[in-house]
Amino acid sequence: MNYREAMEYVESLQQYGSVLGLENMQRLCERLGNPQNELKFVHIAGTNGKGSVLAYVSTILQSAGYKVGRYISPTLFDYRERFQIDGKQITQSGLCKYLEQVKVVVDQMVAEELPHPTPFEIETAVAFLYFLDKQCDIVVLETGLGGRLDATNIIQTSLCSVFTSISMDHMAVLGETLEEIAVEKVGIIKEKSCVVSLRQKTEVMQIVKQVATKKKCRMLIADTSRAKQVKYGLKTQHFSYDKYKNLTITMPGQYQVDNAILAVEVIGALQKSGFPVTEEQLRKGLMETTWIGRFSVIGQRPLFVVDGAHNEDGAARLAEAIRFYFTNRRIIYIMGILKDKEYDKIIRQTFEFAEHIITVTPPNNERALHGYELAQTVQEYHESVTVADSLQEAVEIAYLLTGRDKETVVIAFGSLSYLGELINIVEHRDTIRRDSHGRSE
């Protein structure tokens, strides 16, 4: 299998969709020798913030000298981003190697008339094989959807179950109430492990504590109200938390302070599980953590921000960040959302800050909401809306609308599935502009 064949195979898997449940995943991994049983994990569930917390924890552990596997989804630029060791994605030949191993077993299962594993199940199995073969000291992975029935929950050797903010999302699958969703999320907790959670809403916190107690787990709560001397900024942010004074992070957005505090508590828990980290290593890891697509600044003139706010809670966090960082500034939106999201609530949380809203259809995604349909909903709240036929056109319209006003901010948000391509368009445009200015000078 060469790389082109591997990617064609990955594309062909999309027909098998998403199926919650562990039975088929267990069959797949058993036939591969249960590689997951030889690894140690930090397992992260939650509605928003999973990727950022994964990035903080991974980078801190890496700065302490550990070999760290990362398994993430979705990705922005390249399919191979899903599988990383020490922040570097798997090679093309490596992906072919492990994908071919999994395909052999998948073909056997199909020949025996067993259900075909889903794309996510196959990717997760690839990750386990890769991380074991490369002898990772620890693997940090986030759930794909929910927790209890998510393919990643086949693992039994997690040192720490981590919970970011839990709110309403994927209600059609996870439940219609916050309590039902929380029950699904806490399904990742393993007997006599450690549980680390952000302080949640009361009804969620009760469920997390109940399951942690029942499974005889040590529990730590990341209480962000204990943060002191917090200084927010677009380039650096500073805070003190318990014994750590003046910690620095470089990811913008007030909520990143919360995510960093959760990561600090996770590192504290791991220290008691055989993974010591010095204060210097923790500081270095926090400062060096990056995670593109979460309130990331990708252009300066005008200021161009991208954010993966794709549900109501994410939109509320984005609105809070806009209110804090960009008060009294002219703002233009680019919005692209999937049709299974509560896009009406996302619009309600954010529309008031925009002077003009450009809607797009996220490309190459069966779940994409058409930009025209999104615009119709936007018009119920905001009168200035344009539908762009492509991401390229959306970027060009945004730049035309900003004109020469250096104070204007362009914010592209919604589904992560289109932000990678949009970032490439903006960066390519800026490169051409810089080159032309250089020649003219």
pLDDT for residue 361:
96
Q: Is residue 175 pLDDT above 70, yes or no?
A: no
DSSP 146-205: SSTTSGGGG---EEEEEE-B--S--HHHH-SSHHHHHHHHGGG--TT-EEEEE---HHHH
What tens digit of pLDDT does each residue of 112-135 get?
999 999 999 999 999 999 999 999
Q: Tell me what pLDDT residue 173 has.
A: 57
375 DSSP 8-state letter: H
Could you give the CA distance from residue 236 to residue 238 in angstroms, rounded to a whole number?
7
Q: d(Cα 157, Cα 63) in Å, to the nearest integer? A: 23
Q: What is the pLDDT of residues 347-382, one digit of tens each?
A: 999 999 999 999 999 998 888 999 999 999 999 999
Enter the DSSP assignment of 47: S
Nearest CA-CA partner of 303 in 401, 399, 409: 409
Token digits of residue 169: 């999302």
Q: Which domains can be identified in the chain, with CATH numbers?
A: 3-288 (3.40.1190.10), 296-440 (3.90.190.20)
Strands of the 237-241 sheet, one edge to the other: 227-231, 237-241, 244-249
Number of alpha carbons in the 13 Å side-chain half-sphere of residue 237: 22
Residue 16 Cα distances to 27, 83, 122, 128, 426, angstroms: 17, 21, 11, 21, 34
| pLDDT band at 48; cut points 50, 70, 90 | confident
439, pLDDT greater than 60: no
Number of H helices, E strands in the chain: 15, 17
3-state percent helix, strand, coil for the chain, nearest multiple of 5:
50, 20, 35
Q: What percent of the chain has pLDDT over 90?
A: 77
- Asked whether the beta carbons of 233 and 252 are under 8 A apart, the reply is yes
Q: What is the pLDDT of residue 171?
A: 53
In the predicted model, is pLDDT for residue 53 greater than 60? yes
Task: Give percent above pLDDT 70 in the chain.
Answer: 96
213-256 pLDDT, tens per residue?
Answer: 999 999 999 999 999 999 999 899 999 999 999 999 999 988 89
| Strand 409-414 with 331-336, pairing | parallel
Per-residue pLDDT, 71: 96
Residue 434 pLDDT > 80, yes or no? no
pTM over 0.95: no
CB of 381 closer than 8 Å to CB of 408: no
* Cβ atoms of 236 and 248 closer than 8 Å: yes
Q: How confident is the model over 266-278, as a mean pLDDT?
A: 96
